Amino acid sequence: MLRYIIRRLAGLLLVFVGVSVITFTLAQLVPVDPAVAALGQNARDEQIEAFRRQYGLDRSPVEQYLSYVGRLLQGDLGTSIRTRRPVAEDLRDFLPATIELALAAMVVALILGIALGILAAVRRNSLLDGAARVFALVGGALPIFFLGLVMLAIFYSRLRWLPGPGRLDALLQPPPRVTGMYTVDSLLAGDWTLLRNSLEHLVLPAATLGYFSTAVLLRMTRSSMLEVLGQDYIRTARAKGLHDRVVLLRHALKNGMIPVLTTIGITFGSLLSGAVLTETIFAWPGLGRYATASATSLDFPAVMGVTLIAAIVYPVVNTLVDIGYHALDPRIRAG
Amino acid sequence: MPRSSPISRRLLCFIGLLLLAACGAPAAQPTTQPSAGASAPPSASPAGQSPAAGGTASAKETLIFAADLSDQISLDPAVVYEFGGIQVVGNIYETLVSFDPGDSILKPVLAKEWEIQDSGDMWTITFSLDQSAKFASGRPVTADDVIYSWSRVLDLNKSPAFLFIDIAQLKKENMRAVDPQTVEVKLPKTASPQVFLSILSFTIGGIVDKQEIMANAGSDMGSTWLNDHSAGSGPYVLERWERGTQNVLSANPNYWRQAPAIKRVIMRNVGEAANLQAAIETGDADIVQDLGPEQIKALENNPDVQIVKATATTLVYLGMNAKTPPLDKVEIREAIRYAINYDEIVNNLLSGNGEVVQEIIPAGLFGHTASKPFKQDIAKAKELIAKAGVAEGTEIEMLVTAAANAPGGVEWSTLAAKLQSDLQQIGLKITIKAIQQSELLTIYRAQKGQLVLILWGPDFPDPDGNVTPFTNYEAKSIAWRNAWEAPDIAKLSQQAALEQDSTRRAELYKQITERVLHEGPYAVLYQPTRPFGVRKNVKGFVYDAVDTPAVSFWLLSKE
């Protein structure tokens, strides 16, 4: 197991080197000048020169990359051109917001997707099954930004059941920082007003972001469960006179969940990319919004920082999924 | 397969409960404020468990301002040069002189009076500071602070520094503190004292608390520190800047002039027009900036919201490279100006969010003449083209930014297409090339553009902020970018900038305006308005593009 983890970590390093080289090269190919982008139309030549020197843009791309990696090894991600703060500090602020949103979306997807998927499989061809399938179809087809706008228009602008964009009402102060996730931090602080408000703010973006994953999980769970429920050992279990619940929970569910687990790993990736749009629509100050703003203002240190996070998150999630297989399927453990 | 096993029924109940938890609970008790009034929203109650910092600002004393603040990168008055940041900094730091909103005459702020003297080879400007002026720290504002603040601008040499260095030609050795209440500045005769005073009204002239900065200087004269703290004498202090999200300002407890009615200002960064509309409808925001034409239509009949259209000093114009054929011919440039249908642009494309302005000095600034000689006249334009001997179907490239909206709410690409079709009518074949703004600027700066569709905003509230860049080739600004050399007009502009007599100055600007209109390499298209949505219970709202800050929060109150 230890060797396995070490191998995974080495792979992770390789992935990062690959991703950072690609990002860096792409950045060099973009036909724009970050100095001009940052200083605007009235900057004087000497200021542009000074800016280039300050951010090392006057050196060759290879030199720039090597010095970046050198600083990275000392834990320095550089300074953002746009926020004028160390990138690490920015990430510390923005990442928890995205994690909070992605986790909430995942919870929505897991509960709704798996539960509805099982129900649809158990009650195959019922009205519920039909409704679940339509729900899944719509979820797979609807663009996230459209869904987000509709959600806001209905539940915020019209019905006013839920608050609008942002993580908290403007008049509230964020809880003392522990994790950076407002729901968790307000819970830790025992502040119920804040907890409630941050949860309410989380509902619409999480539902928007989670809808796509819900749809995917629902369809996967349904088809996987149908397959398992049709197998001989299930029929045997039923023939032995076991209770429906026992058959479903003890025999079918475990096997039915293996392909679902793979799907969870994959949809988590889509949650992160979906977060870019969701965060823009809901003014959610997370990594997605940070990434877009940094990219459009050619803030390369920040873009590299986000890339680093993404290059870490994906393999970590994949590793977790692999470990999940071990738990679910003894055959994988043996092999 | 059993149709209704107990397990599935239980699951169904579970999901139902979850859905109820997600939507049902908030339904019972809405958090958003239904309308303005004495009752605060439940979550904002000052008696609640998480009162605002400072603890005392009630909903009535708190103002929520929503706008696109995504350009904000600094809160240091010596560095800030972006609309978002200027709006924050202008409410925190005071300058020696400033404009009253809606008035173009300079008024005393930290300086109670000033005097301009001709001392032979130089101008001498003497400021007497107001003795009652003090910083948020409680320390008095002294001549030493003033000199320190302005020297910081010169030393840091960031984006706005050219205003001091190039325009005012200010040097450290030419400033001195005569006594703690008197500052003396000498400027060379080639700089204009009048222009210097208007530059001082801008954030760059903001006075910082020297001792406070020295204690937190770090390696960049406190510039980084100032992004999260403030050290000014203005009506507000910075509570926090949450990057990309919002700025929170609270009333300066030591403010030396009349305390503002609004004790807390929350400036939220909201970029999407639909979200701005929702925020002002629900009352989640008290003021929203830059609504689009659709949002204005939707809000027009809302009894709680007032639409205020404020004039910006920006000009949207088409630059024509005066050294590139066929644009090097003055007749062709005139023909292009006659080919454009200005009224259609303003009325149809902008839905009225702007006005036709054709000269290089925008309305609102001294010297604006309201001269509009051009109206679409295809026959006349064609005649001019024939006279210049330019063939039908001559191709010209037009560069435009790939960014979405031009001021006034029209898409840049739509505006470019409109010009293309207008110019088609006079036989010019325009190819539109949409590129990244920074790439566009690089090409434009290198004089490599042919037609460039772009905007310009004056850097300081004086006509010289437009006239020199638009007329002086040597200034390496707009005239340079369009490869237009007119030494005699440049000379007139220099003369106008230095002229102390305002009647004579106005005459000079009129003369320049007339000549640039017909000889220059520009087709000025329009001056946009900025539409604001303001809740009816907010009193005293003024937007003044000439004044810094454009929105003075201390003049507002809520009923």
CB distance B123 to B268 below 8 Å = no
Which pLDDT score, from 0 to 100, does residue A32 have?
A: 67
Q: pLDDT truncated to tens, each residue of chain B (559 aa)?
A: 344 444 445 444 444 444 444 433 333 333 333 333 333 333 333 333 333 444 457 889 999 999 988 888 889 999 998 888 999 999 999 999 998 877 778 899 999 999 999 998 999 999 999 999 999 999 999 999 999 999 999 999 888 898 999 889 999 999 999 999 999 999 999 899 989 999 999 999 999 999 999 999 988 999 999 999 999 999 999 999 988 889 999 999 999 999 999 999 999 988 778 889 999 999 999 999 988 888 898 999 999 999 999 988 999 999 999 999 899 999 999 999 999 999 999 999 998 889 999 999 999 888 999 999 999 999 999 999 999 988 888 999 999 988 778 888 888 999 999 999 999 999 999 999 998 877 888 899 889 999 999 999 888 888 998 999 999 998 888 999 999 999 999 999 999 998 888 899 999 999 999 999 999 999 999 999 999 999 999 999 999 988 899 999 999 999 9
Cross-chain residue pair B34–A157, CB shorter than 8 Å: no
Residue type, A121: A
Chain B stretch 487-516, residues whose beta carbon is closer than 8 A to a beta carbon of chain A: none
Q: What is the DSSP string of B283-338?
A: TS-SEEE---HHHHHHHTT-TTEEEEEEEP--EEEEEE-TTSTTTTSHHHHHHHHH
B514 burial (CB, 10 Å; 0-12 / 13-18 / 19+) is middle
Tell me, what DSSP letter sits at residue B258? Answer: P
State the distance between the two ends of chain A, measured CA to CA, in whole angstroms. Answer: 12
Q: In sequence order, which ranges of A30-110 are alpha helices (DSSP H)?
A: 34-39, 45-54, 61-73, 87-108
B23 reaches A (C-beta below 8 A):
yes
* Those residues with Cβ within 8 angstroms of residue A123's Cβ, 6 or more apart along the chain or in another chain: A129, B1, B3, B4, B8
Is the preceding peptide bond at B458 cis, omega within 30 degrees of 0? no
Which pLDDT score, from 0 to 100, does residue A1 have?
A: 63
Which pLDDT score, from 0 to 100, does residue B13 have?
A: 46
C-alpha to C-alpha distance for B464 and A92, rounded to whole angstroms: 45
Neighbours of A308 (CB within 10 A): 18
pLDDT at residue A68 above 90? no
Cross-chain residue pair B281–A157, CB shorter than 8 Å: yes
Question: Looking at the partner chain, which of B18, B23, B245 has a beta carbon nearest the beta carbon of A285?
Answer: B245
> What is the average pLDDT value for chain B, to the nearest integer?
87
CA distance A193 to chain B (A): 6
Which pLDDT score, from 0 to 100, does residue A330 have?
A: 67
CB distance B544 to B550 below 8 Å = yes
pLDDT at residue A78 above 70? yes
C-alpha to C-alpha distance for B289 and B310, rounded to whole angstroms: 10
pLDDT at residue A88 above 50? yes
Chain A stretch 53-82, residues whose beta carbon is closer than 8 A to a beta carbon of chain B: 81-82
Could you give the angle at which helices A253-281 and A287-296 cross, rounded to 10 degrees?
Answer: 50
A281 reaches B (C-beta below 8 A):
yes
Which pLDDT score, from 0 to 100, does residue B95 have?
A: 97
- Measured between beta carbons, the chain A residues lying within 8 angstroms of B158 are 47
Among residues B104, B66, B90, which one has the least CA distance to residue B538?
A: B66
- For residues A250 and B300, the model is more confident at B300
Cross-chain residue pair A244–B6, CB shorter than 8 Å: yes
A116-157 residue pLDDT tens: 999 899 888 899 899 998 988 888 788 888 899 899 989 988
Q: Which letter, b or e, does each residue of A85-123 get, where b requires 16 or more Cβ atoms within 10 Å of its Cβ? A: bbbeebbebbbbbbbbbbbbbbebbbbbbbbbbbbbbbb
Which pLDDT score, from 0 to 100, does residue B439 have?
A: 82
B412-463 residue pLDDT tens: 999 999 999 999 999 999 999 998 877 888 899 889 999 999 999 888 888 9
Least confident interval from A25-29, A89-93, B225-229, B549-553: A25-29
Chain B stretch 249-268, residues whose beta carbon is closer than 8 A to a beta carbon of chain A: 266, 268
Q: What angle do CA B313, B437, B528 make, to 5 degrees?
A: 20
Chain B stretch 216-245, residues whose beta carbon is closer than 8 A to a beta carbon of chain A: 224, 227, 242-245
Report the chain A residue with the minimal C-alpha distance to residue B48: A193
Report the chain A residue with the minimal C-alpha distance to residue B26: A161
A264-316 residue pLDDT tens: 887 777 787 788 889 988 888 898 888 888 887 778 888 888 888 887 777 77
Tokens matching residue B486:
């007119």
Residue type, B476: K
To which H or E segment does residue A210 belong? helix A192-229
CA distance B80 to chain A (A): 11
Query: Hey, CA dihedral for B383, B384, B390, B392, is it positive or negative?
Result: negative
Q: What Rg, from alpha-carbon coordinates, does chain B have?
A: 27
- Measured between beta carbons, the chain A residues lying within 8 angstroms of B438 are 32-34, 36-37, 298
Residue type, B138: G
Q: What is the DSSP string of B525-538?
A: EEEEEEEEEEETTE
C-alpha to C-alpha distance for A189 and B110, rounded to whole angstroms: 44
ipTM of the complex: 0.76
Between chain A and chain B, the number of residue pairs with CB atoms below 8 A apart is 194
Tell me, what DSSP letter sits at residue B356? Answer: -
Which pLDDT score, from 0 to 100, does residue B36 have?
A: 36
Strands of B182-188's sheet in order across: B111-119, B122-129, B182-188, B175-179
Which pLDDT score, from 0 to 100, does residue A40 have?
A: 65
3-class SS at B264?
strand
A42 reaches B (C-beta below 8 A):
yes
Strands B451-456 and B538-539: unpaired
* Those residues with Cβ within 8 angstroms of residue A55's Cβ, 6 or more apart along the chain or in another chain: A34, A35, A81, A300, A301
CB distance B451 to B325 below 8 Å = no
CB distance A146 to B241 below 8 Å = no
- Measured between beta carbons, the chain B residues lying within 8 angstroms of A83 are 73, 243-244
Tokens matching residue B471:
């007329």
CA distance B289 to chain A (A): 16
* Those residues with Cβ within 8 angstroms of residue B290's Cβ, 6 or more apart along the chain or in another chain: B67, B68, B273, B276, B409, B530, B531, B532
Among residues A243, A112, A237, A223, which one has the least CA distance to residue B16?
A: A112
* Those residues with Cβ within 8 angstroms of residue B353's Cβ, 6 or more apart along the chain or in another chain: B293, B296, B309, B408, B409, B528, B529, B531
A172-221 residue pLDDT tens: 888 988 999 999 999 999 999 999 999 999 999 999 999 988 998 999 99
Which pLDDT score, from 0 to 100, does residue B415 have?
A: 95
CB distance A148 to A207 below 8 Å = no
Q: How many percent of chain B have pLDDT more than 70?
A: 90
